[in-house]
Amino acid sequence: MSIRITGTGLFHPTEAISNQELVASLNAYVERYNQQHAEQIAQGELEELHGSSEAFIEKASGIKSRYVVEKSGILDINRMYPRLTERSNDQLSLQAEWGVTAAQQAMQQAGVTTEDIDVVILACSNMQRAYPAVSIEIQSALGIQGYAYDMNVACSSATFGLKQAHDAIQAGARRVLMVNVEITSAHLNFKSRDCHFIFGDVATAAIIEDSADKAGFELVDVHLQTQFSNNIRNNFGFLNRCEDAFGDSLLFNQDGRKVFKEVCPLVAQMINQQLEKNQLNADQIKRFWLHQANANMNELILKYVAGKQAEVARAPIILDEFANTSSAGVMIAMHKTAHEVEVGEYAILSSFGAGYSVGTVLLKKVA
């Protein structure tokens, strides 16, 4: 068997928010909050909020802009989350709509039709609803037979999804469509200086199939690992209703310093173990497509793996334009720079996130 990624697709919304716009919105909110609560702040009952700056965001993350599903609601300091219009149950959901668009691109690149696909996997951090599975909605919209399911391993969902696709093909499926639709702006606390800049909205897709003669990237080896941690957490869920609880504290939050300190060596160790297992060294890896969460993290991981003199270009960064797109980030990096890898050369696709969860996939460019 030669199980390969033979096509990828990418969709992003038309609206984008620059760091300048985001900072102006947050700082206006902070100024108003501090004025409205000046007495409580002076008495020590509330903490004073602090504004942000473009320089802080870029230095902390490497992010310059992000695509969003709807920007006016996010920038409105009386709201600070997207404005969306509810769709009826007879209409295609927003997540399915984006997934279909990305999937059609991947199918076209791979030269396959809906009749050629047996499995659809929606692998991402956030599902628009609990059920019916959005993957089944995508499957239906495309007219694919077989089966579909949703899966969530946070930002590692794409690498874990590739493993599930690989195993499904080994078990007899002809082709798998994996889709990663991340509408992350809906779960982000735009009132928080520490995280308001992190995420962007996007959809990616990939076709995985067994082919001995179709160009693509062969899945040589896949290594997955999970390790429980509360350092990245989102507590929003249906039980909040029963607890009479809802507020910004239930949304995405993280201890960024602990994540940086703990995740970087863990990811590097897994990549090095994978290289050793496959009798390769870092110099033989043309591109490291790492999770697009933080440029500083990726630079450090690359140094741990390839040495201090490693060229930064070997780990392409796309989060300057897209920000952190959770599971989709590694797929965007691959989609944008796959042409830089020649036939016979290797690449590593590695994602990591809440859980902790880490997935590393060793790929080889094949003709």
Tokens of 35: 């004025």
Give yes or no: 155 in active site.
yes
Nearest Cα neighbor of 123 from 166, 165, 181, 176 is 181
80 φ, ψ (degrees, to nearest 5): 65, 40
Please state the three-class secondary structure of 266-326 as a single string.
HHHHHHHHHHHHCCCCHHHEEEEEECCCCHHHHHHHHHHHHCCCCCHHHCCCCHHHHCECC
Q: How far apart are CA 203 and CA 119, in angstroms?
A: 18
User: What's the rounded Cα separation, in Å, for the pair 130 and 126?
Assistant: 10
196 close to 51: Cβ distance less than 8 angstroms: no
- Of the candidates 155, 195, 242, 264, the residue annotated as catalytic is 155
H or E element, residue 156: none
Closest among 261, 257, 262 to 227, alpha carbons compared? 262
Contact 177, 10 (CB under 8 A): no
List, by residue number, the catalytic residues. Answer: 155
